């Protein structure tokens, strides 16, 4: 598909861009352009274009504003030492977008259109890709229902867009271990619900729990499955891992309620290469506490595209806190996998799995 080019007449001044890139934070600043592809029932995808970044004109009756028919993705573009810009496993994001689309009754987007869209945006706004340690350009593809209609049914008009935002550490400042809050009042997903879809509603539903977390000094929430034996599911915006008995990496199995994290999948693959025993299985809160009390729990960490890999220092709960062992970044499982992942993503280590794709 041809993308029409409507480039901005008012690009950000280079000095202002340099100021933003010197301390990008996460999700606060956006590049000069956005890619858009519209969809209409009967016609399919049409009017692909790149246009200046700016507000979207939506009818107040647009169904996304009422019924939340929305999905999104997150992936990053990295600056290599040779000046090229590359991204990591974008086909996984394209495929997951379509899994989410099916669950939210949105149209599927052909994978090549997804890849062309991110490539065009990154090539156009390549000057926005930071090159600092752990920095990247975070790409946020998303799809919304734009039809003005208040009946509850899948919309007949939809828009797919990609925006881009220079990114440093998701949690702000330097990498540090974070405490997390155990949500006992709220669940993230129910069986048969939208847990494994990447839809805005899942994140909206996590916010009341996150407010509770913030009251306890935590910026992330851990959700359990309250309908069963309190199996661990995931954090508000990332998957969770445990290292036990020194050589075994455990993460909750994908059971329909848990997000199929691209970083999660990559961590499992790198861990197997490191010779660790990898287990995707049900792990209950009771087992977690028992492993800790027996001295068998070595590490707890969170991972996601935005957060990369971040160690967890403590689980705060209404009944008291569980404190996890202090870990050394250079020798810990999380630290070694994080370094290897970042090295592959930034071209410092060989991409033996063929996961990198050049964008610019
Ligand atoms: C990501 O890790 O890319 C996410 O989408 C998590 C969060 C920022 C919503």
Strands 75-79 and 85-88: antiparallel
Q: Which pLDDT band holds residue 204 (cuts at 50, 70, 90)?
A: very high
Tokens standing for residue 276: 């660790």
Q: What is the pLDDT of residues 64-91, one digit of tens each?
A: 999 999 999 999 999 999 999 999 999 9
Residue 133 clears pLDDT 90, i.e. is over it = no
Confidence (pLDDT) at 51: 98
C-beta 306 within 6 A of ligand 1: yes
Atom of ligand 1 nearest to the CA of 170: 8
- What are the structure tokens assigned to 147, written together? 């039809």
Task: Please indicate whether residue 166, judged by its CB atom, sits closer than 6 Å to ligand 1.
Answer: no
In the predicted structure, residue 274 carries a pLDDT above the cut 80: yes
pLDDT at site 226: 86
Q: Determine the pLDDT at residue 244.
A: 98
To test the ligand 1 pocket, which listed residue (165, 169, 307) has its Cβ within 8 A of the most ligand atoms?
307
Question: Over the stretch 146-202, which tens digit does the pLDDT of each residue have?
Answer: 999 999 999 999 999 999 999 998 888 788 999 999 999 999 988 999 999 999 999
pTM, 2 dp: 0.96
Distances (CA, A) of 203 to 98, 169, 307, 314, 317: 18, 20, 15, 22, 21
Ligand 1 in contact with 141 (CB < 6 A)? no
Å from CA of 91 to ligand 1 middle: 17
Whether 74 lines ligand 1, by a CB cut-off of 6 Å, is yes
Q: Which residue has its alpha carbon closest to ligand 1 atom 5?
A: 74
86 Cβ contact list (under 8 Å, min separation 6):
77, 78, 80, 345, 347, 356, 357, 358, 359
């Amino acid at each position: 598909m041809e993308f029409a080019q409507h480039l901005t007449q008012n690009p950000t001044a280079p000095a202002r861009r340099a100021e933003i890139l010197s301390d990008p934070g996460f999700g606060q600043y956006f590049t000069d352009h956005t890619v858009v592809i519209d969809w209409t029932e009967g016609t399919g995808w049409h009017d692909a274009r790149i246009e200046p970044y700016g507000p979207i004109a939506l009818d107040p009756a647009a169904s996304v504003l009422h019924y939340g028919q929305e999905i999104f993705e997150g992936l990053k573009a990295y600056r290599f030492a040779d000046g090229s810009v590359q991204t990591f496993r974008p086909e996984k994001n394209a495929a997951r977008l379509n899994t989410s689309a099916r669950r939210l009754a949105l149209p599927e987007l052909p994978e090549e259109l997804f890849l062309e869209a991110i490539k065009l945006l990154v090539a156009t706004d390549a000057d926005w890709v930071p090159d600092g340690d752990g920095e990247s350009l975070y790409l946020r593809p998303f799809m919304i229902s734009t039809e003005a209609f208040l009946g509850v049914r899948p919309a007949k008009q939809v828009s797919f867009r990609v925006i881009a935002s220079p990114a440093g550490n998701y949690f702000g400042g330097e990498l540090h271990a974070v405490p997390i809050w155990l949500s006992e009042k709220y669940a993230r997903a129910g069986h048969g619900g939208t847990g494994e879809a990447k839809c805005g509603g899942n994140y909206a539903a996590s916010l009341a729990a996150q407010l509770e977390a913030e009251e306890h000094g935590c910026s992330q929430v851990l959700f359990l499955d309250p309908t069963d034996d309190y199996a661990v599911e995931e954090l508000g915006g990332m998957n969770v891992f445990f290292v036990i008995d020194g050589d075994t990496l455990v993460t909750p199995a994908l059971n329909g309620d848990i997000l199929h994290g691209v970083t999660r999948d990559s961590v499992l693959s790198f861990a197997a290469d490191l010779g660790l025993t990898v287990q995707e299985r049900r792990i209950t809160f009771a087992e977690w506490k028992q492993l800790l009390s027996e001295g068998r729990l070595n590490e707890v960490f969170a991972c996601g595209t935005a957060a990369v890999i971040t160690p967890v220092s403590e689980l705060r709960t209404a009944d008291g806190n569980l404190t996890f062992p202090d870990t050394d970044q250079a020798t810990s499982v999380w630290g070694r996998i994080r370094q290897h992942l970042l090295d592959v993503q930034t071209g410092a280590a060989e991409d033996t799995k063929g996961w990198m794709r050049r964008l610019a």
